[in-house]
Chain A
């Protein structure tokens, strides 16, 4: 089992919470993990990414080599495209379709969608709307996790347990809201 995952988004969108749940699930399964994060200046509304590597074998590099990522999980459609050179030929892109526009020269959303549709394996999900529909507008990142969970080589149950552990100190209400978001995301992509 080996999954090289690039998590992408804009600073503040919550990609590290997705990474935390996947990492927690992988840790419980006894897999090796490496996860490189971006801290500091770029977090202020700039593009951010995290390289998450999970494997049953020892992992050498903290960074995923170009052309080797199995999945790009992105909370923003243009940010998903930024890491194309890292995606393997058979790799998947799972991305939110709602753009995050905080720059004046943000491209036409249609041209972004056109680029995304050119990729062989893509799952496009409007996670913002789904998150609102399930009454958890701040849980868009967990909806996205649900949408890609069947590609991560671990059972759905493992992620739900991960969500429970990661969010437990924020109270049962938050845990339940995130489980709901996770299941809605999973249902949307299957």
Chain B
């Protein structure tokens, strides 16, 4: 029995995973991937099946936990945004060599155009690099259907599978036909047939690596087969052939309809089907490659040496070199006339995001700015989260935001080189994600820095998910070696400004490592909790 549901791409993935009988979803929140885990957390079916769905501390712990589930023969998904894969990369790349026992799908949501990210890296490169196959749905129905397929692909080929989403796929809703009931979750524990492949001693890894490389050829054969997700639509006019990857296929169809005069190769599965690409190259005068993200396929087809067929795409300038694709850029690349349109209004000004009114981070920056006005040599190094908005007016407090946890390590490096005062500002969730090891480094040399852990008791930027360190921050700081006399807690409210500024001054003047924890609940989650209590 099938039922129809209106689902975000993320939710289609989540429901596909539930219905494929997963044991757990392991993830750290990150736009645009967050709603996958949230959907499972809110699902009655998932609760009844006992699916594990608590947020993980970071993407690496998530990836490794899924491998544990796989080792004993059950299914799991791991979800993250593209930059999260950098954090999980050690486990991800090595998991291709260990292989899987139960199926593993790593869902990675890329954010081309950087709507909510610090770069637009293309996760398909990671898949290729690790010899891991990739599924890239073009619509929500495919996203759902690919989950069950992906688990079979993973188990039959003894390898994790990556599913790559992009922002518009993750955050767009459509009607999806889904199974009314899930496959039951596996209860039994079964162990890998080749247990030594999970022990990556050089001798074992050397034995396993050639198998990984040769199975990549088999994975390409599968991706080109009828059972895979790549499709060749032949057509009479061979002056042009179009390769459309993932969601780019929708933009193509939006512009040319279902009966296009030129051949189309729709790619939704990698390794890319070389034979089908060669077929297009041998028959067509030129090939236009449309891919969301970086020009991975275009570069592959074009290579360095001259080709008999003209290859067009992001590198040739037919499409923009960076940023997400859209129906307009695709239309232009196809040489179709633009739709008649209104000119942009000159009255409109940008409206950048800002910290919420009443947010505790605001009080933290107000206090820092007041104190630091007296220390002209200061720098404040910050991190990834809502509080990165402290870079914008009216605060303009921070000098850096690089990657999760970097505030503390960068502040320590700058202090090593002689900067004073050297301040780090990091959120509670980012601190437990990747800041604890940074703090341990700083404690081991008693670095002369002030670390501000702005604790709003949640993961704010992604919408208020549980934060792994809630209630444990002081204990964590003391345990890694910060002197308890220099772990100071304050409540960031305007009325407490004299106390907060006094403490910041004292800790700047203290020669050594100190941690200040301004703690007040996120204004958004506080509102939500108040509403819940009222009901």
Chain A residues proximal to chain B, CB less than 8 Å: 10-11, 23, 27, 32-47, 51, 59-68, 78-79, 81-82, 84-89, 102-107, 111-112, 115, 119
Contact = CB atoms under 8 A, between A and B. Distances in A.
Interface of chain B, main secondary structure: loop
B343 interface: yes
Contacts of A32: 174-175
B347 A66 contact: no
B307 interface: no
29 contacts: A27-B175, A36-B171, A37-B8, A37-B171, A40-B32, A40-B116, A42-B116, A42-B353, A44-B353, A44-B356, A45-B351, A45-B353, A46-B353, A47-B351, A61-B253, A61-B327, A62-B169, A62-B250, A65-B331, A66-B341, A81-B348, A84-B342, A84-B343, A88-B340, A104-B393, A105-B349, A107-B347, A112-B347, A115-B347
A68 B8 CA distance: 23
Given A42-B115, A102-B354, A106-B349, A65 B174 contact: no
B348 A34 contact: no
Contact of B348 (A35, A68, A78): A78
Nearest to A87: B342
B262 interface: no
Contacts of B253: 60-61
In this complex, the member of B172, B173, B342, B347 whose beta carbon has the largest number of chain A beta carbons within 10 angstroms is B342
A103 B392 CA distance: 12
In this complex, the member of B251, B327, B343, B461 whose beta carbon has the largest number of chain A beta carbons within 10 angstroms is B327
A68 B341 CA distance: 8
A40 B171 CA distance: 10
Contacts of A60: 250-254
A90 B447 CA distance: 65
A66 B254 contact: no
B116 to A, nearest CB: 3
Interface string B342-377: 111101111111111000000000000000000000
In this complex, the member of A45, A60, A62, A65 whose beta carbon has the largest number of chain B beta carbons within 10 angstroms is A62
Nearest to A170: B535
Contacts of B352: 46, 103
A55 to B, nearest CB: 11
Contacts of B393: 104
B354 A46 contact: yes
Interface string B176-204: 00000000000000000000000000000
In this complex, the member of B115, B168, B341 whose beta carbon has the largest number of chain A beta carbons within 10 angstroms is B341
Interface string B55-91: 0000000000000000000000000000000000000
A41 B167 CA distance: 13
B463 interface: yes
Top 8 A-B residue pairs of the complex, sorted by shortest distance between their CB atoms: A40-B116, A67-B339, A40-B31, A67-B341, A46-B353, A61-B254, A60-B253, A62-B172
Contacts of B34: 39
Nearest to B34: A39
B456 to A, nearest CB: 13
B415 interface: no
A66 B330 CA distance: 12
B247 interface: yes
A52 to B, nearest CB: 9
Interface in B212-268: 247, 250-255
B338 interface: yes
B353 A68 contact: no
Given A27-B6, A112-B347, 18 more contacts: A35-B173, A35-B174, A39-B35, A40-B31, A41-B116, A44-B353, A44-B356, A44-B389, A45-B351, A46-B353, A60-B251, A61-B251, A61-B253, A61-B327, A65-B255, A65-B326, A66-B327, A67-B340
Given A39-B463, A65-B331, A33 B348 contact: no
A115 B171 contact: no
Given A10-B351, A44-B386, A105-B349, A65 B327 contact: yes
Contacts of B389: 44
A41 B343 contact: no
B198 to A, nearest CB: 37
B508 to A, nearest CB: 29
B525 interface: no
A126 B347 CA distance: 20
Contact of B31 (A10, A39, A61, A64): A39
A85 B348 contact: no
A34 B125 CA distance: 29
Contacts of A23: 6, 173
B355 to A, nearest CB: 7
A45 to B, nearest CB: 4
A50 to B, nearest CB: 9
Nearest to B531: A170
Contacts of A33: 6, 173-175
Given A40-B116, A42-B115, A67-B339, A34 B174 contact: yes
A119 B347 CA distance: 14
B328 interface: yes
Interface string B319-344: 00000001110010000001111111
Interface in B269-316: none
B489 interface: no
A65 B254 contact: yes
Contact of A34 (B173, B252, B354): B173
B462 interface: yes
Nearest to A31: B175
A89 B341 CA distance: 6
Nearest to A86: B341
B342 A41 contact: no
